[in-house]
Amino acid sequence: MSSKYETLVIGAGGIGAVVAYGIHYTGKSNLGIVVRGHYDKLISEGYTIDSVDYGKVDGWKPDYLYPSIEEAGKSGIEYDFVVVSTKNLPDIEKVEDLIEPVVTPSKTAVVLVQNGFDIGRPLIERFPQNIIISGVSHCGSHKYGTLVEHIQHDNAKISYFGNPNFEESALEQKTKEFISMYKNPKNDIDYFPNERWYRYRKLVYNATLNTVCALTDVDTGRLQLWGGLDEISVPAMREIVAIAKADGCDLPSDVINIVGHGDDGVYFVPSMLDDVRKGNPIELEIILGNVLRVADQLAVDAPILKVLYALLKLKQGRLKEKRGLLTVPETRPPNTKYYS
Amino acid sequence: MSSKYETLVIGAGGIGAVVAYGIHYTGKSNLGIVVRGHYDKLISEGYTIDSVDYGKVDGWKPDYLYPSIEEAGKSGIEYDFVVVSTKNLPDIEKVEDLIEPVVTPSKTAVVLVQNGFDIGRPLIERFPQNIIISGVSHCGSHKYGTLVEHIQHDNAKISYFGNPNFEESALEQKTKEFISMYKNPKNDIDYFPNERWYRYRKLVYNATLNTVCALTDVDTGRLQLWGGLDEISVPAMREIVAIAKADGCDLPSDVINIVGHGDDGVYFVPSMLDDVRKGNPIELEIILGNVLRVADQLAVDAPILKVLYALLKLKQGRLKEKRGLLTVPETRPPNTKYYS
């Protein structure tokens, strides 16, 4: 290993740009970023960052910029860390397909700074000899073109996804290496020993408020005022708590109360509703589909979440169709099924 | 009673206009219509009707036109029949409040040519000495200004709502009087002995496909192609069938198959989705709320329908808010509830 790590960040939206800048700030890694838009402007002018943690930064450029993952793969660099902070939409594009060109077997650790539950599994299946790391970010940041507006302190919990091909100690050591390369005096990047527990904890909100708001076009304030928190989201939270428990993750006894009050005082638009309002596909599979597949394996009942999932699959179909990602035949095909 | 009946039609949209013209055609009643828009133009030019049943009719006027129900009430006429074909939105405006000025106690029969279930109950409570009649229309017709495009044969089932203050024979006789005044060689207006059964039969579609399509922005073709018919609507149909059975209404054993195939071959946009797309409030209470209140009374489980209802109440809140019918406080109010 050279004196510096080699790191590639894929999906430098608001959060990804802050992660990249945090790694740059720490100075322990050469850093490449794969950008999807504004490549030429970034090559000439760099990023403008207005950050709650790092202040105003003009014209910042990482060591390398790539217009695509394929180009990053052709660089010849064998990455120590590939950080993925794209939206996680396996029904449209699988992360394990996306990153294939930049993963060196037995070397590259892949860090998923993404929403959702059980997102490590398909990567471990595809890259069984690579360590997969979980990053749950509580940072708030938005990107507009080459401008990054970082408005909420960078604060993340980093864990490893369990992988039977490695000793736990090796997984833990690699995870802490990643933290040492990212953690700096301006951010709070901490090791958390149980990714699954932490991601169940986040689902208590995301699977129950985020989903209902996305279906009904209400923010979390209206959700509560108009009865939906009591009638749907809180009963759905109990289902998440039960699935987690059956999976060996005991959530705190007051978790439902804490999540129920998490947005007190504000009419908050959660991410899935924000996506629906923008006409973007929603992160449905990783927020709801994956946990329901685990519930089925564990034979835990989740009747409300199942209805929400079935409804949101339809909504997702419509969102994809409007983006040209899905079509239906011009004439409705014959249907010979007998319904009873 | 004079040689002719006195009839008033309230809510002359597409269907109401066809009902009114059918009554006119039969010639047994003086006829008034309460219009909500285009009053001056109708007074001077009348309706233009392009009808699958009656052909082209230019400049048709009923005996009386009123700009409001209050004006119709001031006419001094004691109506034999008041036909209501407005949307039924009790969470916004109750039919029993709306028609109060034109109902003569112990005389006027009120005919509800409207969607939904258990819609007679609040009228019988308000007007216990009046007969309330049920009309379920299968007519297809749209109104644009003063133009009526009647595209699907006028075909309706007429029944009475049970009322303990009357002999069944009196209810039946009045209902058949109404039919005799409306049925003509061009339409198919038939007596049906059990309004509750017939309205449960319609709910098998309306409570299960209409609702899911409205929530997810898909038509009934996409609903089937993308799995929602199997995963939500058909299981929800079983809940309607169970509620109906507990209420003494046995639906045919193949009703779910028939309804599941009801829109075969077309990508059909059901009424509630059409309302959502137009930003109109939805007929939620009469399509879903009323039947769930009956299910509670009968202690029949309806878990899927209950989730759909809770979600659609939120959607309805949003639709009302966008129409200025509902507001939320500018600052989200404190919430002291403990969630567990």
Within a domain: residue B331?
Answer: no
Q: Is there a contact between A314 and B264 if contact means CB atoms under 8 Å apart?
A: no
Q: Whole domain around residue A219: which residue ranges?
A: 196-318
The number of beta carbons lying within 10 Å of the beta carbon of residue B17 is 28
Chain B partners of A307 at a C-beta cutoff of 8 Å? 232, 303-304, 307-308
Band of residue A303 on the pLDDT scale cut at 50, 70, 90: very high
Domain shared by B175 and B233, yes or no: no
* Amino acid (1-letter code) at residue A261: H
| Interval A60-107: pLDDT, tens | 999 999 999 999 999 999 999 999 999 999 999 999 999 999 999 999
Tell me the Ramachandran region of residue A255: left when phi exceeds 0, alpha when psi lies from -120 to 50, beta otherwise: alpha
Task: Answer whether residue B209 is part of any domain.
Answer: yes
| B314–A339 C-beta distance less than 8 A | no
For A328, phi then psi, to 5°, come to -115, 155
Are A100 and A213 within one domain?
A: no
Number of H helices, E strands in chain B: 16, 12
Q: Which of A310, A332, A337 sits opposite B232 (nearest CB)?
A: A310
Q: Which of B223, B332, B340 sits opposite A266 (nearest CB)?
A: B332
Distance CA B219, CA B210 (A): 9
- In this predicted model, what pLDDT tens digit does every residue of B6-52 receive, in sequence order? 999 999 899 999 999 999 999 999 999 999 889 999 999 999 999 99
pLDDT of residue B2: 55
Nearest to B207 by CA among B238, B245, B236: B236
- Rounded to whole angstroms, how far apart are CA atoms B61 and B226? 47
| The two three-digit tokens of residue A186, written as one number | 């301006």
Are both B131 and B32 inside the same structural domain?
yes
pLDDT in tens, B178-212: 999 999 999 999 999 999 999 999 999 999 999 99
Cβ-defined contact of A314 to B261 (cutoff 8 Å): no
pLDDT at residue A1 is higher than 60: no
The stretch A27-45 carries a mean pLDDT of: 95
Task: Write down the pLDDT at residue A25.
Answer: 97
Residues A16, A158: one domain? yes
Q: Where are the alpha helices (DSSP H) in chain A?
A: 14-26, 39-45, 69-73, 95-98, 121-126, 168-182, 195-205, 211-216, 220-225, 228, 234-246, 255-260, 271-278, 284, 290-297, 303-322
First and final C-alpha spacing in chain B: 64
Rounded to a whole number of angstroms, the distance from the CA of B203 to the nearest CA of chain A is: 16
Claim to verify: residue A131 and residue A211 sit in the same structural domain: no
Task: Report percent pLDDT > 70 for chain B.
Answer: 99
**Measured distance CA(B151)–CA(A319) in Å, rounded:** 32
Residue A327 lies in a domain: no
Helix (H) or strand (E) holding A148: strand A147-152
Region A268-296: what's the mean pLDDT? Answer: 97
Q: Do A333 and B225 touch (CB under 8 A)?
A: yes
As a whole number of angstroms, the distance between CA B336 and CA A257 comes to 10
* Set of chain B residues whose Cβ sits within 8 Å of the Cβ of A315: 215-218
CATH number for the domain spanning B109: value is 3.40.50.720
Two structure tokens written together for A178: 């990643």
Question: Which residues from A are below 8 Å from B237, CB to CB?
Answer: 339
Percentage above 90 pLDDT, chain B: 98
> At residue B234, does pLDDT exceed 90?
yes
Q: Give me the number of domains chain A comprises.
A: 2
Asked if B314 and A226 come within 8 Å (Cβ–Cβ), the reply is: yes
Q: Is A330 contained in some domain?
A: no
Contacts of A159 (CB under 8 A, 6+ apart): A133, A134, A136, A175, A191, A192, A193, A194, A195, A198
Strands of the A140-144 sheet, one edge to the other: A55-60, A47-51, A147-152, A140-144
Min distance B253 CA to chain A CA atoms (Å): 8
What is the model's pLDDT at position B83? 98
**What is the pairing mode between strands A5-10 and A81-84?**
parallel
- For residues A116 and A209, state if they share a domain: no
Tell me, yes or no, whether A17 and A158 share the same domain: yes
Is B225 close to A315, i.e. CB distance below 8 A?
no
Let me know if A17 is exposed, middle or buried by CB neighbors in 10 A (0-12, 13-18, 19+): buried
Q: Are residues B238 and B153 in the same domain?
A: no
> Does residue A139 register a pLDDT over 80?
yes
CB A320 within 8 A of CB A326: yes
Task: Let me know: does B317 contact B258? Beta carbons within 8 Å.
Answer: no
Residue A153 and residue A134 in one domain: yes
Domain for residue A340, yes or no? no
Spell out which residues of chain A touch residue B307, defining contact as CB-CB under 8 Å: 232, 303-304, 307-308
Per-residue pLDDT tens digits for B74-108: 999 999 999 999 999 999 999 999 999 999 999 99
Contact B133, B161 (CB under 8 A): yes
